[in-house]
A and B are shown apart, each in its own frame.
Chain A
């Protein structure tokens, strides 16, 4: 069965220089899409068709890229909803948040809400797709994985747990075609009332010692880290000790 996969991409910014580039997570989403659908992958961008950074995605081996043309600072949602409703996509992949602009990470959820599709968060791997159900692995914090089965059509966001994006090659990036579509431009009023400023470094949290007396302050400054009142099992057999440890491990849910 042919997988009809759409990947949504945005324009990223280099973390140090701030220069426009392909967005890290979106490139991973394209990589995942290429593994699922190969050359049939559709890639969609809402923004400026003349942005040179879009060619970085084409350089990953895409024949073309659809662009819904709209100026910066406008709402991408209505155009994407209208496009995806007619695209007949089974699975829509996106990065989890943009590297430029607000970067709230709301877009996949709003798309899911408006299209009525389920949203899977931080997709790591698609195991198989059968009978309109995708069996996927979701990345959890601390390197853990969870298996989910989700009814298609669905949206999925991709973060740094997904497979690393392939390199972008210069030749294909120049051969690929950028196809522009006209969409209705909707202004984003909320963003107009907000004020964008260069990021201020966050203040470091200080360790506040609320000691009343000098002796308490001395103790706070010199005391070793201590749990204070841990349970000590002394003179027990190895079996009893092991049972006590296992009980705690099971309570904490780390032994599965």
Chain B
């Protein structure tokens, strides 16, 4: 907290002017002094300060703001900047970037990369396609290579491996780090390992003193080996970076990677029945609570949006939804990327259940409820009118998109 104390010229003027109505307030009152016999005397009236509604406030947290003392607005605490001016070597991380953002797994991996880089190496992150991440600096990325040509769009593992191979010949990084996850890291890392002829350590959960420990087989055994060049690490392999800020200097691929003839062609996503997706792993959930009065409308909205349906405990208890659809502490703990809460005020048990969700959208009548405090976007209004408008908006967008495509 900044402790720059500002002068208050007006206050000083009032303190000099005995006829000013606020004069007595601005006199410095001694709060404690030694009496004539040496006993410590205290003035109870000098404790605290007069608040805006003319009541005396006593703040014992230590953050007391006196009348005469003005402090600067508290600036955001800046973490110390970690700079690598002339990197001795590179540690390359290829994060998953699910939905264009770093996942928790990616952040753990960057923590591991810093453990391997020490103070002389630089951590280079390779990001394919467009991203929406704004916290690359605090996640621990010293150098960033963004490859966003249209040849990397969609599912193009062979083209991506080609680019990584070009990077290998350009920089020859000391280590390659991939998340061993189903979101693409496991596949890309193994493809690159096969291409480079490097034997990787997979499902690594601990790297210490030059020894990597990885799970082997079906999880019954551990395999300890000297740290190889290519590591596919499991989630929680290391603590994420949280005490430093990094430069995120852009880096370019010197000769752009050759375009390969794609032997695997991406034909796009297939519509799956959202009701068949288990709620715990659904990506997009539309959840209804006590505020929903028109349940058929709610179900139509879920179908229109292509969302999995969920419900709060009240809605389940009232019989509008089945028990397996309940979200929260006594129901399912969901991991959706986007969670839309309609008419749910946000009991603590429900908020626990959606703790892992990235984006929460709340539709509620009460602007002061806990769900609105948790949500990234809240719309205050009647759920029925909003759902009707949302269905219309999605239909209009779908038709517009279809017209543009044709």
Q: Which residues of B345-378 have CB atoms within 8 Å of chain A's CB atoms?
A: 348, 351-352, 355, 358-361, 363, 367, 370, 372-378
What A residues does B381 contact at CB under 8 A?
A: 236, 238, 241
- Do A99 and B202 have beta carbons less than 8 Å apart? no
- Do B217 and A242 have beta carbons less than 8 Å apart? no
A119 contacts chain B at the CB level, 8 A cutoff: yes
What A residues does B284 contact at CB under 8 A?
A: 249, 254-255
- Do A121 and B187 have beta carbons less than 8 Å apart? yes
- Do A148 and B393 have beta carbons less than 8 Å apart? no
Assuming A226-B373, A227-B375, A236-B381, is B222 touching A196 (CB within 8 A)? yes
Least CB separation from A98: chain B residue: B217
Chain B: minimal CB distance from A96 (Å):
9
A131 contacts chain B at the CB level, 8 A cutoff: no
Interface segment, one of B8-16, B42-50, B188-196, B288-296: B188-196
Tell which of B221, B278, B363, B367 touches A143, judged by Cβ atoms closer than 8 Å. Answer: B278
Number of interface residues of B (CB under 8 A): 91
CA distance A195 to B222 in the complex (A): 8
Assuming A147-B267, A241-B389, is B306 touching A255 (CB within 8 A)? yes
Interface centre among B221, B306, B385 (most CB of A within 10 A): B221
What B residues does A106 contact at CB under 8 A?
A: 190, 193-194, 199-200, 202
Tell which of A98, A241, A256 touches B306, judged by Cβ atoms closer than 8 Å. Answer: A256
Flag A107-135 by CB within 8 Å of B: 1 or 0 each.
Answer: 00110110000111110000000000001
Assuming A118-B263, A236-B381, is B223 touching A245 (CB within 8 A)? no
Chain A: minimal CB distance from B357 (Å):
10
- Do B265 and A245 have beta carbons less than 8 Å apart? no
- Do A234 and B222 have beta carbons less than 8 Å apart? no
CA distance A122 to B187 in the complex (A): 10
CA distance A198 to B367 in the complex (A): 54
A200 contacts chain B at the CB level, 8 A cutoff: yes
Assuming A141-B281, A199-B221, A246-B397, is B379 touching A149 (CB within 8 A)? no
- Do B379 and A241 have beta carbons less than 8 Å apart? yes
Chain B: minimal CB distance from A140 (Å):
8
B99 contacts chain A at the CB level, 8 A cutoff: yes
B340 contacts chain A at the CB level, 8 A cutoff: yes
- Do A122 and B182 have beta carbons less than 8 Å apart? yes
Flag A171-211 by CB within 8 Å of B: 1 or 0 each.
Answer: 00000000000000000001001111111101001000010
- Do B393 and A197 have beta carbons less than 8 Å apart? no
Could you count the A-B residue pairs with CB atoms below 8 Å apart for me: how many are there?
Answer: 243
Chain B: minimal CB distance from A148 (Å):
6
Interface segment, one of B114-122, B269-277, B325-333: B269-277
CA distance A110 to B190 in the complex (A): 9
CA distance A231 to B375 in the complex (A): 8
What A residues does B168 contact at CB under 8 A?
A: none
Tell which of A135, A205, A246, A256 touches B269, judged by Cβ atoms closer than 8 Å. Answer: A256
Chain B: minimal CB distance from A171 (Å):
29
- Do B360 and A227 have beta carbons less than 8 Å apart? yes
B39 contacts chain A at the CB level, 8 A cutoff: no
- Do B272 and A205 have beta carbons less than 8 Å apart? no
- Do A233 and B268 have beta carbons less than 8 Å apart? no
B218 contacts chain A at the CB level, 8 A cutoff: yes
B380 contacts chain A at the CB level, 8 A cutoff: yes
- Do A146 and B359 have beta carbons less than 8 Å apart? no
What A residues does B229 contact at CB under 8 A?
A: none
- Do A197 and B222 have beta carbons less than 8 Å apart? yes
Least CB separation from A111: chain B residue: B194
Assuming A148-B264, A233-B379, is B390 touching A245 (CB within 8 A)? yes
What B residues does A248 contact at CB under 8 A?
A: 338, 359, 361, 376-377
Chain A: minimal CB distance from B350 (Å):
10
Tell which of A18, A109, A138, A144 touches B194, judged by Cβ atoms closer than 8 Å. Answer: A109
Least CB separation from B215: chain A residue: A199
CA distance A231 to B218 in the complex (A): 45
26 contacts between A and B (CB under 8 A): A141-B182, A141-B281, A143-B278, A144-B272, A147-B267, A147-B270, A150-B264, A190-B225, A194-B223, A195-B225, A199-B215, A213-B62, A215-B62, A224-B370, A224-B373, A230-B375, A232-B367, A234-B367, A234-B380, A238-B385, A238-B389, A245-B377, A246-B394, A250-B397, A254-B306, A255-B397
Cβ-closest 10 pairs across A and B? A242-B389, A143-B277, A241-B379, A109-B194, A147-B267, A99-B218, A238-B385, A254-B284, A118-B263, A194-B225
Footprint of B on A, CB under 8 Å? 12-13, 15, 18, 98-106, 109-110, 112-113, 118-122, 135, 137-138, 140-151, 154, 190, 193-200, 202, 205, 210, 213, 215, 224-227, 230-236, 238-239, 241-246, 248-256
Other 18 A-B pairs with CB < 8 A, given A15-B219, A238-B388: A109-B190, A109-B191, A109-B193, A143-B278, A147-B267, A148-B264, A149-B267, A151-B264, A199-B222, A226-B373, A230-B372, A234-B380, A236-B379, A245-B390, A251-B132, A253-B99, A254-B337, A255-B305
